[in-house]
Amino acid sequence: MPFDDLRQWIAALERAGEIKRIHTQVDPILEITEITDRVSKSKAGKPGGPALLFENVRGYPGSKVLINQFGSEERMKLALGVKSFDEFGERMRMFMDVKSPQGFLDKLKMLPLLTEAGKFFPKTVPTGPCKEVIKRDKFSLLDFPILQCWPQDAGRFITLPCVSTRDPKSGKRNLGMYRLQVFDERTTGAHWQRQKVAAEHYRQALRDARSRENSQTSSLSASSGAVDLMARTSGGQELAETGHPSGKMEVAVAIGTDPAVTFSAIVPAPPDVEEYLIAGFLRSAPVELVKCETVDLEVPATSEIVLEGYVNLDELRTEGPFGDHTGFYSLEDLYPVFHITCITHRKDPIYATTIVGKPPMEDAYMGKAVERIFLPLMKLTIPELIDINLPIEGVFHNLMIVSIRKSYPGQARKVMNAIWSLGQAMFTKCIVVVDEDVDVQDIADVTLKVLNHIDPGRDIQFMLGPVDSLDHASRLPNYGSKMGIDATRKWPTEGFTRPWPDEILMDAKTRAVVDGKWKALAKELGLD
């Protein structure tokens, strides 16, 4: 059953016993973070702790703050309406496998899938709950209980926004999740990193603006200055030192969407697949969108809060630091400024947010869901893949453990390079490749096999390439080295001529005999 809005989702959490209402007064500055961090890391109760709905926020009478809504495996499955991420991932793979049908029978087989897919496309409706209150003037971001998460944060940050932009050239919409630092009542930072889709939309708008200006002035000086600074701006934003290109790019931000929309904003969608279509697929029902009041963009009709506005193409501002999911503060850098022109919201809106920091936290469970759901899609490109594990402590882009069905020499290195070519997987700092009989979800087994199977000088390779903007250890912002470890068994065709020893395992006959005696033995040993 799909959830039409955040409120239906909260009601479902209550029915499942997965949410706690907090009546003790709390401060949005640091206190909510400390409470949520303790709950998410608590050893008592279920892993991840419950979702939290704070109903007594200091300075914001009547306001409610929802946090940790996705902070457990059970809640992630509930949010997506599935019992198994793997089954859901296989269903998604069928829809994403866009290879052309080879014959008439293949085309007939595709018809049911195409018919079902047609039900998931978003549809625009005249109005929705997010329009219950419309403020074109006399509005302020400070009317909402936006959190300051950590002591050294540069201020308050909106941390769970669904940010909509449009490609200036193709007109295609994109939905991403980029933190927004609150500068004042009507402006925020727009933290879309260099490799994100919204950043490319921004760069395309800059290119278009420069092209228009160059055609008018027939001057190349502004263009050459822009290219020079583009190479030297660490935040990944282009801005010319001279001949600043004028213009704006429209932006809309939805806060407090239904869980499928929120989740779709973080998934590494294929370039030609719109996030609202993925959300419809997750919900098994189309997402209803409404037109914004002051910008030419659409937002989910049932959003709790909508921020409309624009970024200037000639304006960057220092954003950060921010306590990030790496467990360290991401450093300050230059990013565009989001100017808000209108705020719409539901009556008594619920402010949905999240915190990130040292794992495990809410984002760990969201990331694990992405891992399981998108494994079948990775197999479309890398068919020898058996399984992957992105350990929570590796904060997803620092370590990927991969098991493969090895068929030819050098295949582990081919897989490493294939992974580094896949969208957001290009940021993976360390890839470890093991044979198919190694359980990548069992870190103890991985550690034993990897450290026994490698000759470091032979089996570790390094390469240079793009790295995550949050990587504070890289030699340059957004650019650094990566490591691949081939921990598969080595073959003579790979130059290994020594015998490869067998793993120590008891024979099946003896195990069966002891199995028959184990109940009595366990009682004698006090193990029952």
CA distance 245 to 205: 10
* Catalytic residue selected from 324, 333, 471, 486: 324
Cα 279 to chain centroid, rounded: 14
Q: How far apart are the first and last CA of the chain?
A: 42
Tell me how many degrees the CA angle 52-54-58 measures, rounded to the nearest 5. Answer: 150
Q: Using the 8-state DSSP alphabet, how is residue 262 labeled?
A: H
Is residue 403 within 8 Å of residue 376, measured between CB atoms? Answer: no
Q: Taking Cα atoms as reference points, which of 470, 503, 100, 120 lies closest to residue 319?
A: 470
CA distance 336 to 191: 8
Radius of gyration of the chain (CA): 25
CA distance 96 to 87: 14
Residues contacting 104, CB < 8 A, separation 6+:
none
Residues contacting 180, CB < 8 A, separation 6+:
157, 158, 161, 163, 188, 189, 190, 191, 253, 338
The residue length of the chain stands at 528
CA distance 472 to 469: 8
DSSP-assigned letters across all residues of 473-522 = TSSBTTEEEEEEEE-SPP-GGGT--SPPPPP----HHHHHHHHHHHHHHH
Is residue 361 within 8 Å of residue 49, measured between CB atoms? Answer: no
Question: Which residue in the block uniquely carries the two structure tokens 């085309």?
Answer: 107
DSSP, collapsed to helix, strand or coil, labels residue 137 as coil
| CA atoms within 13 A of residue 198's CA, in its CB half-sphere | 25
Largest CA distance in the chain: 92
CA distance 528 to 526: 6
Q: Tell me the residue type at 226.
A: A
Active site residue 324: yes
Cα 269 to chain centroid, rounded: 10
Q: Taking Cα atoms as reference points, which of 28, 4, 50, 57 lies closest to residue 346?
A: 4
Is residue 68 within 8 Å of residue 48, measured between CB atoms? Answer: yes
**Cis amide linkage into residue 360, ω under 30° from 0:** yes
What is the set of active-site residues? 324
